[in-house]
């Protein structure tokens, strides 16, 4: 399944990621990853975590849980739902805590980690929701909820909330949020 859309005179293809995209996805991931929060101008957002390795991305692509947006044959955004990488232990512990605290019901199927990146020139065009729309048929057969951990200092926290994510826990440093794939659950 793929999808061509035009927004503000830019034409994008929204599709599942392919193995040939690994290099470009890795470049986007690396570009937005910071090693410390001690930097100026956080306005466009950032990723404060380890980078994905090609073997992680291969598994995620093969599971059909990642979409990309391309323009002029270049990958300019991705929407990762990660249940296979080597970067999940913090997410698994957080989900376990939320189940123990009855914030997430234990019969629900939870996708462990969502990470979204859109290149700066294409922010505020609604690409994340287009990518999620494409992924939904693949995700809803496996999961009831998507899960993510955000950093309070990321001003893009608002983008999570506006896109329908619900913050279910927060402390001084980060926040946990969920997205219901099936509104009835």
Ligand X SMILES: CC(C)(COP(=O)(O)OP(=O)(O)OC[C@H]1O[C@@H](n2cnc3c(N)ncnc32)[C@H](O)[C@@H]1OP(=O)(O)O)[C@@H](O)C(=O)NCCC(=O)NCCS
Map residues 26-55 to x or -, x wherever contact with ligand X holds by CB under 6 A.
------x-----------xxxx--------
List strands edge to edge, sheet with 2-7.
Answer: 2-7, 10-16, 66-71, 74-82, 113-118
Q: What is the dihedral angle through the alpha carbons of 78, 51, 106, 184, rounded to the nearest 10 degrees?
A: -10
Give the C-alpha separation, 108 to 116, whole Å.
23
> What's the closest the beta carbon of residue 30 comes to ligand X, in angstroms?
12
The encoded tokens of residue 71 equal 């323009």
Q: By CB under 6 A, which span of 14-22, 51-59, 152-160, 172-180 interacts with ligand X?
A: 152-160
Residues in contact with ligand X, shown as a per-residue x/- string from 91 to 130 under the rule CB under 6 A: ------------------------xxxx----xxxxxxx-
The tokens describing 178, both together, are: 């969920």
Instruction: Give dist(CA 44, CA 143) in Å, integer.
Output: 30
Using CB atoms, what's the residue nearest to ligand X? 45
C-alpha–C-alpha distance, residues 60 and 68, integer Å: 12
* Contact flags string 154-183 toward ligand X, x per CB under 6 A: xxx-xx--xx--------------------
Residues that bind ligand X (CB under 6 A): 32, 44-47, 115-118, 123-129, 148, 154-156, 158-159, 162-163
């Amino acid at each position: 399944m793929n999808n061509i859309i035009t927004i503000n005179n830019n034409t994008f293809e929204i599709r599942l990621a392919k193995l040939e995209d690994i290099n470009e996805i890795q470049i986007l991931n690396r570009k937005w990853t910071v090693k410390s929060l001690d930097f100026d101008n956080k306005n466009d957002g950032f990723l404060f975590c380890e980078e994905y390795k090609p073997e992680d991305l291969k598994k995620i692509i093969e599971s059909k849980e990642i979409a990309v947006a391309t323009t002029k044959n270049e990958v300019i955004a991705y929407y990762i739902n990660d249940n296979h990488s080597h970067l999940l232990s913090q997410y698994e512990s957080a989900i376990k805590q939320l189940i123990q605290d009855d914030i997430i019901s234990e019969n629900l199927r939870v996708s462990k980690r969502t990470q979204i990146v859109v290149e700066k020139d294409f922010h505020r065009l609604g690409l994340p929701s287009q990518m999620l729309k494409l992924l939904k048929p693949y995700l809803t057969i496996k999961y009831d909820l998507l899960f993510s951990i955000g950093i309070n200092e990321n001003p893009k926290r608002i983008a999570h909330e506006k896109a329908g994510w619900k913050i279910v826990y927060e402390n001084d440093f980060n926040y946990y949020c969920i997205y219901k794939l099936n509104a009835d659950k």
